C-alpha cells in the first residue's frame, strides 16, 4: 500500500492514486478472508454443529455475510489510514502531491472494496471448499482477463479488471450497463447458486 512512496516514478503522485493502490492491495486480501469465512466450517467438518444449533441456514449465511462486510469496512478504514500515512511520508520527503481526491473518489474506493468482499463471499458460498475457492478467486479473473485480450465483449462486460476499475475510479459515465453485468456475473449469480446449494446440501 506504500508502494507509491517507495517508487514515486512509477505512480502518479496524487491523493487519488495513493488510495487506488491501497484498494488494489485490499482486492487481493479481502476475497480470501471472505472465502475462509464461508468455507472454514465446511473444510473443518464442523458445519453440522452450526446447522444443529441454528437450523435456519439462511440466518447462518446472513450472519457470515454481515461479519464479512464488517471486516471489509474495517479493512477499508485501514487502507485509508495507510494511504494518509503514505501521503504524509511523501509530503515530508519534499514531494509535491496533487490534492485530487473527491467524495466520488472515496465512494468509488468503498464500493470497490465492497465488491471484492462480495466476490469472495459468492465463491465461498458456492464452492464450499477453501482451497478450491481461493484458487478460483485468482484463476478465474486471470482467465477472463486473458479472454478479454481476444474479445472486447468479455473485456468490457465481464473482466473485473476493467469494469470494477471504472468503479474504483468513479468513472460511471457510459459504463453503468457493463458494470452491472459484471456484478451479476461475479457476485449475483454465484451467490444465488451458493445460497441454494447451502440450503439444499446434505451435511449428515
Phi then psi for residue 136, to 5 deg, are -65, -35
Task: Please give the pLDDT value at position 12.
Answer: 66
The residues pairing with 98 across neighbouring beta strands, listed in sequence order, are 14
- Tell me, what DSSP letter sits at residue 11? S
Contact assessment for residue 134 and residue 49, using Cβ atoms and an 8 Å cutoff: no
Q: 183-200 in b/e burial notation, b at 16+ Cβ within 10 A? A: bebbbeebbeebbeebee
Residue 113 predicted with pLDDT over 70: yes
- What is the value of pTM for the model shown? 0.88
Distance CA 122, CA 41 (A): 16
Residue-level pLDDT at 17: 82
Helices (H), the chain: 3-6, 15-43, 47-53, 57-92, 103-127, 130-148, 152-157, 160-168, 176-183, 189-200
Using pLDDT thresholds of 50, 70 and 90, give the confidence band for residue 137.
very high
pLDDT (mean) for 147-170: 94
15-40: per-residue pLDDT in tens? 778 888 889 989 999 999 999 999 98
Out of 3-17, 28-42, 82-96, 152-166, pick the least confident.
3-17
The pLDDT value recorded for residue 103 is: 87
The pLDDT value recorded for residue 7 is 56
In this model, does residue 100 exceed pLDDT 80?
Answer: no
Give the model's pLDDT for residue 8.
54
Count: domains in the chain: 1
User: Which band of pLDDT confidence, cut at 50, 70 and 90, is reported for residue 165?
Assistant: very high
Amino acid at each position: 500500500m506504500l508502494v507509491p512512496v517507495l517508487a514515486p516514478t512509477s505512480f502518479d503522485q496524487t491523493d487519488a492514486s495513493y488510495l487506488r493502490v491501497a484498494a488494489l492491495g485490499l482486492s487481493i486480501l479481502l476475497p480470501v478472508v471472505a472465502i475462509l469465512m464461508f468455507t472454514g466450517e465446511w473444510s473443518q467438518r464442523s458445519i453440522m454443529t452450526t446447522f444443529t444449533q441454528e437450523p435456519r441456514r439462511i440466518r447462518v449465511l446472513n450472519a457470515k455475510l454481515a461479519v464479512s462486510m464488517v471486516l471489509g469496512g474495517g479493512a477499508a478504514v485501514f487502507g485509508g489510514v495507510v494511504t494518509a500515512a503514505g501521503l504524509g511520508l511523501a509530503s515530508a520527503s519534499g514531494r509535491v502531491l496533487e490534492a485530487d481526491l473527491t467524495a466520488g473518489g472515496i465512494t468509488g474506493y468503498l464500493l470497490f472494496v465492497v465488491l471484492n468482499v462480495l466476490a469472495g463471499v459468492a465463491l465461498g458460498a458456492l464452492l464450499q471448499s477453501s482451497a478450491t475457492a481461493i484458487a478460483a478467486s485468482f484463476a478465474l479473473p486471470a482467465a477472463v482477463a486473458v479472454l478479454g485480450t481476444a474479445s472486447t465483449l468479455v473485456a468490457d462486460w465481464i473482466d473485473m479488471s476493467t469494469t470494477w476499475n471504472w468503479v474504483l475510479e468513479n468513472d460511471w459515465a457510459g459504463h453503468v450497463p457493463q458494470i452491472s453485468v459484471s456484478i451479476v456475473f461475479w457476485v449475483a449469480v454465484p451467490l444465488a447458486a451458493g445460497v441454494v446449494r447451502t440450503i439444499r446440501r446434505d451435511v449428515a
